[in-house]
Structure 1
């Protein structure tokens, strides 16, 4: 039974959204929260919200925090190429608003009301 529990834990992937208000935002935005989803077999099995406003003095410090939280994918509105390459080199997948049109998790979220 212990082996099965370990295998279930290994199958969880952590994905994090940088949110400000009700919208996806960049990592540079001052007022932001990080919403972390624990995913298993394309289903959300856990959610954690972390207020990261003014918490990190550098991109590297933020990257270390994300790694300690075992986050594998981040969602941001936009990101500069230098920061994106730093994250990619560290094993993080970066998804921007331009690349997430067909993302199952993102499309299942309701972030803001429709504009008419």
Structure 2
């Protein structure tokens, strides 16, 4: 993916495989591109995420204030359920926050409980 204005790479991209089982094999291995280890994650197809029956334990959070630490990020979301993984995405060179991240809960119910409040919540004075 490239920035629309600068046309510079944004540091991530997408690959679509014909056979879904290939994704499991890809995720199992470590991958290095241009001497940098890359983080491989499964994405959710749009049609699946738009379904009311779709369940997940992982959510995307945007508009995270740059002052938020990893611990604050995790601690806040534990009120909805046990947090398995949490990550604020950062620029590699500066370690500055991109302003978005992911939370993976232990249960799908935690995501359901969080989303009952709508798709925006007040987090440290900002709407995320």
Please tell me the TM-score bracket, short chain as reference.
under 0.3
Q: Give TM-score scaled by structure 2 length.
A: 0.24
Structure with greater strand percent: 1
Q: Which has the larger radius of gyration?
A: 2
Higher relative contact order (CA 8 A, sep 6+): 1
Structure with greater helix percent: 1
